[in-house]
Amino acid sequence: MAKEEENENEQQASPPIWEWILAVTGLVIVCVAIGMTLYRGVTQDSSPPNLKVIVKAVSQKDQGFLVEFDLINSANRTASTINVEGRLKMNGEAVETRTMTMAYAPSNSTRSGGLIFSRDPRLYEVEIGAVGFENP
């Protein structure tokens, strides 16, 4: 019991400087976090996701030709389960179509993925775009 009191007395002394530094750091972090999230909450516009696909690179792999792309969502709302469709076209006629699903396209962020074609996309006109999504 006496030991406990002693312990308590030791703690009565003003907290070490490190404790103050960390506490103030915490206060700043919390204020920034609250400020930013609150700002996001107040200014959140409810316009739907704005999706765009940009082709990054084409390369030959064991099972065909890989087209790497970026999926950019420039709106403030997140989209999920995005269906991405890619077509190889010749003279406006689609000769090969590939689809895949992206799990998430967070707001104002970029996600990347790839589509695999059996024909060389470099010989055709490549058209890749998001065809649909779900609200998370």
Name the minimum Å distance from CB 109 to another protein.
Answer: 5
Which one, 10 or 93, has the nearer CB to another protein? 10
Amino acid at 93: E
Q: Which of residues 7-26 bind another protein (CB under 8 A)?
A: 7-13, 15-20, 22-26
Which one, 101 or 110, has the nearer CB to another protein? 110
Residue among 91, 76, 10, 69 nearest 46 (CA): 76
Binding mask 53-72 for another protein (x = CB under 8 A): --------------------
Which one, 76 or 83, has the nearer CB to another protein? 76
Query: Considering only residues 100, 107, 114, 127, which one is a binding residue for another protein as defined by CB under 8 A?
Result: 107
Give the single-character DSSP code of 35: H
Give the number of C-alpha atoms closer than 13 A to the C-alpha of residue 102, restricted to the C-beta side: 30
Q: Which two tokens stand for residue 122?
A: 């470099």
Query: Considering only residues 55, 89, 95, 106, which one is a binding residue for another protein as defined by CB under 8 A?
Result: 106
Which one, 50 or 107, has the nearer CB to another protein? 107
Pairing of strands 64-73, 79-90: unpaired
Strand partners, 61: 64
Give the number of C-alpha atoms closer than 13 A to the C-alpha of residue 107, restricted to the C-beta side: 12
Residue among 63, 95, 96, 69 nearest 84 (CA): 69
Enumerate binding residues for another protein (CB under 8 A): 3-4, 6-13, 15-20, 22-27, 29-30, 32-34, 36-42, 44, 77-78, 80, 104, 106-112, 136
